[in-house]
Structure 1
């Protein structure tokens, strides 16, 4: 059994999950993890760390085959702009290395937003807190455990 802060947080919350290790490829993203696990990339959820114009950090959970409209997210949150957080800033806040960021068990609690259509899926695959490890969970866990707020900010690349 693997141990990461994310897995410890899931166990502590009583969440049923399955671990899915795969061969990690640098810059491969959700395309590689979906291919390695034989699942639809739409069911793989990426965790993005973004920063608003006041330098406050947020997490956005998005389908692997979609992108986040940062303009739409900024408008929704009532801020001037949103940008991807720098890797070092994201790592210090979450405790996770780029490519292994999980929304569970982050070093600092961060406001979390989930693309609404993710919640319609029967099962999702999300990072388990290290490169090359996804966990599958019922998407309702994202709202129940993370208090993720459903949003509609996804765009097709």
Structure 2
């Protein structure tokens, strides 16, 4: 998979991917406020299951963490807390998530975050041949091999998806 030229914005995420020699393809699309993965999947003509959300959560001590989830699934925060070894996990306030990651909500990428955060990945994502994940800007996804996530981000596979 090679990086497409031309319409690829330069973001902390794309710089991170290049620095770590992770092959990616660039996929800009027309962003819609509150459209989520449904819109990006439609705009790119791909299955929403292969579009991965980057969700910023916090534990009971207000320490941030990232969970990567299929676009067509939700996260069981109770199960994530159990598997991550916490008493409780809940979504971060958008302003807090932006402070932790450096990205606007809707453009959050797990790559190139402002500070290194613990990353958890829904295990079934690793079974897909190709995923589309935020490239660090609203309206911009990158296509990558999901097997690059675990070693690069030190991501821990978990089973926390709810249909």
Query: 1:39-58 residue pairs with structure 2 within 5 A?
Result: 39-58=46-65
Aligned to 1:94: 101
TM-score by length of 2: 0.94
Q: Deviations over 1:24-52 (max 9, x none)?
A: 00000000000000000000000000000
- Paired with 2:42 and 2:19, the residues of 1 have a C-alpha distance of 30
In structure 2, distance between residues paired with 1:146 and 1:122? 18
Deviation, 1:79, is 1.8
- Structure 2 alignment gaps of length 5 or more: 1-7
CA distance in 1, matches of 2:30, 2:80: 32
1:51-110 Cα distance to aligned partner (Å, 9 max, x none): 000111000000000000000011112222111001111001100001000000000100
Pick from 124, 143, 147 the counterpart of residue 131 of structure 2: 124
Pairs aligned (count): 156
TM-score with structure 1 setting the length: 0.98
Report runs of 4+ in structure 1 exceeding 4 Å deviation: none
Q: Which secondary structure does the structure 2 equivalent of 1:150 belong to?
A: strand
Q: Name the counterpart of 2:84.
A: 77
Q: Residues 1-157 of structure 1 correspond to what in structure 2 (within 5 A)? A: 1-156=8-163
Tell me the CA shift for residue 2 of structure 1. Answer: 1.7
CA-atom RMSD, angstroms? 0.6
Distance in 1 between the 2:43 and 2:84 partners?
36
- What is the Cα deviation at residue 145 of structure 1? 1.0
